[in-house]
A and B are shown apart, each in its own frame.
Chain A
Amino acid sequence: MVGPGPGGGAPLENANPLIYRRSGERPVTAREEDDELADSIDDREIFDLIRSINDPEHPLTLEELNVVEQVRVKVNDAESTVAVEFTPTIPHCSMATLIGLSIKVKLIRSLPERFKLDVHITPGTHASEHAVNKQLADKERVAAALENSHLLEVVNQCLSARS
């Protein structure tokens, strides 16, 4: 069980978010079970990496809040690119940058280094869309953020598995 998040007693910005049903588990194909063959990385695999990320404020996952959806994940394995769009629950959500950072960190930690990662806000769904996208795309800012122990702790809580 995840607590109310590190925000402590602060009032939630969106106290009653809509909750969505989780998707089923990904079926494993015979090809994937064959260890001899190299697996390519597909949209569903990326989605599986990020759907269980916890929202910083609610005891819910990004999938349950519909912040991430499989249709908003685009992978091109041959060109080593991954593009993810996420949708904040409200247009003024102050957690948008933190959610985006958590998604980015999860992908950095999970994917081979050859991948170029682009994490963006779904167009038209946030008041500071441009500013958030720009900050998430700035690898120097992201690198410095991950050396900030307070911030890292918050991100790690978002990425921790629910027990």
Chain B
Amino acid sequence: MKEALELVCRVPAHPDSRCWFLAWSPGGGLLASCGGDRLVRLWGREGPGWSCRAVLGEGHQRTVRRVAWSPCGSYLASASFDATTCIWKKQEDGFECVTTLEGHENEVKSVAWAPSGTLLATCSRDKSVWVWEVDEEEEYECVSVLNSHTQDVKHVVWHPNQELLASASYDDTVKLYHEEEDDWVCCATLEGHESTVWSVAFDRSGERLASCSDDKTVRIWRRYKPGNEEGVACSGTDPTWKCVCNLSGYHSRTIYDVAWCHLTGALATACGDDAIRIFEESASSDPQQPTFSLAAHVPRAHSQDVNCVAWNPKEPGLLASCSDDGEIAFWKYQRPEVC
């Protein structure tokens, strides 16, 4: 029987080190990886496999924890344990570090570009989330410092088409922020996870959010606007995000990443039990109480913890994953027919 998730190839991307994170370029042609070797690498397709196109070095003094592409694809931001975020600009012959954003007091854990490309968010163990604005002269200015979390902030991600920011934290919560008057404010706190929330992902519409945690569960949250038909209570003018699904019992260790494919709707997870799992929403399920089922499970996807899963934004079913073993794996996913 054909497996739903099939290995395409493996690349020793960050040998003798950890590979922490992967990010597809907006056009889907390049994959950026980063790791404990303090490097960012770019990968492109070569024949049936993938090869390294560029190495972005000398930007960081410590582990590079996450990378993010600007929506235009001309810039790459890298967040590092050295407390800085580097902005790399595409040149004719590769990428050059054009700006270093300083200000966080310790490890920067995540960076994300807003859909407009003019806002950037970073977060850190210093418990803060920062929003930066970039002007035409490529000058970055801090427009807000958000101190809503009480612990280490692990991940920041923007809504796919609105200026709404989500952050996940060691304090077991997810928080959402938007601009109000001339500053940013926390407009929702998603409580329910019983341990560190490692990652969050919006679905294509942005009406739902998936979060994964050290409590070995994935939770799906849905936005309810004030005056919604379902009668979900909202405070004031802010929508409420309600947990509508809890995927528990599938994972045996910490879930480090969750990725919601905007092309197919499939939900992939990266787990500390070395496995990759893919969930599909049942077509017949109630939107207020959706049910998800396990569509694919590769128990030994990597030889160590899987840190990240990333769906290609243009090619349906193309999934990349990376691990503490330093490798990147490319997978082909086909939705099983029984699903």
How long is the Cα–Cα vector from A141 to B153 in the complex, in angstroms? 11
In the complex, whether B293 has a CB less than 8 A from a CB of chain A is: no
Task: With A113-B303, A137-B214, A139-B305 as known contacts, state yes or no: A144 contacts B63, CB within 8 Å.
Answer: yes
| Cβ 8 A contact of B303, one of A114, A134, A147 | A114
Which A residues from 131 to 147 make CB contacts under 8 A with B? 134, 137-141, 143-144, 147
In the complex, the answer to whether B62 meets A140 with C-beta atoms within 8 Å is no
Minimum CB–CB distance from B232 to chain A (whole Å) comes to 31
The size class of the interface chain B forms with chain A is: 20 to 34
In the complex, the answer to whether B170 meets A138 with C-beta atoms within 8 Å is yes
In the complex, the answer to whether B304 meets A147 with C-beta atoms within 8 Å is no
Which secondary structure dominates where chain A touches chain B? helix
In the complex, the answer to whether A147 meets B196 with C-beta atoms within 8 Å is no
Minimum CB–CB distance from A74 to chain B (whole Å) comes to 16
Cβ contacts B59-70/A at 8 Å (1 or 0 each): 000110100000
In the complex, the answer to whether A147 meets B62 with C-beta atoms within 8 Å is yes
Which secondary structure dominates where chain B touches chain A? loop
Query: Which chain B positions have C-beta within 8 A of A144?
Result: 62-63, 81, 106-107, 125
In the complex, whether A116 has a CB less than 8 A from a CB of chain B is: yes
In the complex, the answer to whether A116 meets B196 with C-beta atoms within 8 Å is no
Cβ contacts B64-99/A at 8 Å (1 or 0 each): 010000000000000001000000000000000000
In the complex, the answer to whether A113 meets B325 with C-beta atoms within 8 Å is yes
How long is the Cα–Cα vector from A140 to B154 in the complex, in angstroms? 9
In the complex, the answer to whether B63 meets A113 with C-beta atoms within 8 Å is no
In the complex, the answer to whether B196 meets A134 with C-beta atoms within 8 Å is yes
In the complex, whether B18 has a CB less than 8 A from a CB of chain A is: yes
Query: Which chain B positions have C-beta within 8 A of A134?
Result: 170, 195-196, 214
How long is the Cα–Cα vector from A147 to B303 in the complex, in angstroms? 24
In the complex, the answer to whether A143 meets B63 with C-beta atoms within 8 Å is yes
A114, A134, A140 — most chain B CB neighbours (10 Å)? A140
Query: Which chain B positions have C-beta within 8 A of A138?
Result: 152, 170, 196, 214
Minimum CB–CB distance from A118 to chain B (whole Å) comes to 9
In the complex, the answer to whether A140 meets B304 with C-beta atoms within 8 Å is no
In the complex, the answer to whether B253 meets A140 with C-beta atoms within 8 Å is no
Minimum CB–CB distance from B169 to chain A (whole Å) comes to 12
Which B residues from 95 to 121 make CB contacts under 8 A with A? 106-107, 109
Please list 21 pairs of residues, one from A and one from B, whose beta carbons are closer than 8 Å in the complex, sorted by A's number.
A113-B303, A113-B304, A113-B325, A116-B272, A116-B273, A134-B196, A137-B214, A137-B254, A138-B170, A138-B196, A139-B305, A139-B324, A140-B65, A140-B109, A141-B125, A141-B152, A143-B18, A143-B36, A143-B81, A144-B62, A147-B81
Please list the 6 inter-chain residue pairs (A to B) with the smallest Cβ-Cβ separation, ordered nearest first.
Answer: A147-B62, A144-B81, A144-B107, A147-B81, A113-B304, A147-B63
Beyond A113-B324, A138-B152, A140-B154: 14 further Cβ-contacts under 8 Å? Answer: A114-B304, A116-B253, A116-B272, A134-B170, A134-B195, A138-B214, A139-B305, A141-B152, A143-B18, A144-B62, A144-B81, A144-B107, A147-B63, A147-B81
